[in-house]
Amino acid sequence: MNNMYKKITSGLFIPEYITPKRERPTAFSFFAGVGGIDLGFIQAGFEVVGANEFDPIASLTYMVNLGSYPMQIHYIEGMKDKERLNKACEKYIFGKKKYPEHNTSFDIYNNAEGSGLAGSGWIKNNPDAVPVRNFWFGDIRKLKGSNILNALEMKPGDLDCVCGGPPCQGFSQAGKQNIADPRNNLVYEFGRMIVELQPKTFIMEEVPAILNFFDPDGVPVLDKFAMIISEGGYGKWELVKKAMLMQAGAAAGIKSMRGNEKIKKSPVKKRFNKSERPKLEQISFLDGQ
């Protein structure tokens, strides 16, 4: 077959520049946990085309409630991650019982039927919801956006939304607020994935304390995150940061069609009476409009 064509999941060959259309808006989830944010997206009518999580117990819970049958598991670090998930299956789902007809315990998990298995939870009782069919298990730091897009047969910019809640333990006032907590840097990994995937929008959930937090290099965490996003084409740095400072516990971004280009049109000025003037927290701009 000519190199200008590619084979898609259905078995058809289509031109490489074409992305198969989906009936619903699409989302990809990082730091998916047990699936709380993703459940909201599914209930809102999105198709969560894939998710990523490192913790094996959270991952199993996610796949039970929101996964498909069978699941397409992408082990980020190969056998290392596969063994971690297998151990969790053996301990929390199958106990000590051995299944010699299967190579690994996850083969049982992914191909057997019954409660506690992929797709046997919430999703089974909600037939109108689209299950999550692809799951990346492992460390986001070892994951590349191109790997995700290739597996999903998508291109940069095709995703409608990337969502995630990077670990907050190092930032939260409920903890020690350890500036050297290695999990703090995962916020930047989330920014990297946004830039590599180029979704039309993104949503990040974080604790409000991140607004005043510095990394070990003495750089404000939010400043650095905003710079990553800005350099990735999501608007001017000061406007990205301004939009995030106006949020409490969450931040959202919209892909600017102009990227970081200067705005040529003069903005329309609107006059407000004193009683009509909007409060600061009611305004949020990312691309300067």
In a domain, 233, yes or no: yes
In a domain, 117, yes or no: yes
Angle at 34 between CA 30 and CA 202, to 5 degrees: 30
In a domain, 11, yes or no: no
Q: Which domain holds residue 129?
A: 24-282
Cα first-last separation, the chain: 47
pTM for the whole structure: 0.73
Nearest-CA neighbor of 53 among 37, 68, 69, 40?
A: 37
Q: Give phi and psi for 150, each to the nearest 5.
A: -65, -45
The number of domains in the chain is: 1
In a domain, 1, yes or no: no
Residues 136, 148 contacting (CB under 8 angstroms): yes
- Specify the DSSP class assigned to residue 116: T
In a domain, 289, yes or no: no
In a domain, 15, yes or no: no
In a domain, 55, yes or no: yes
* Burial (0-12, 13-18, 19+ Cβ within 10 Å), 79: exposed
Q: For position 250, which CATH number holds?
A: 3.40.50.150
- pLDDT (tens place) for every residue of the chain, 289 residues total: 456 776 665 566 667 666 666 789 999 999 999 999 999 999 999 999 999 999 999 999 999 999 998 889 999 999 999 999 988 888 887 765 554 444 555 554 554 444 557 888 999 999 999 999 999 999 999 999 999 999 999 999 999 999 998 776 545 445 555 554 556 778 899 999 999 999 999 988 765 666 666 776 777 778 888 899 999 988 888 887 777 766 555 555 556 543 444 434 444 445 545 555 444 333 333 433 3
In whole angstroms, what is the distance from residue 281 CA to residue 32 CA?
A: 28
In a domain, 146, yes or no: yes
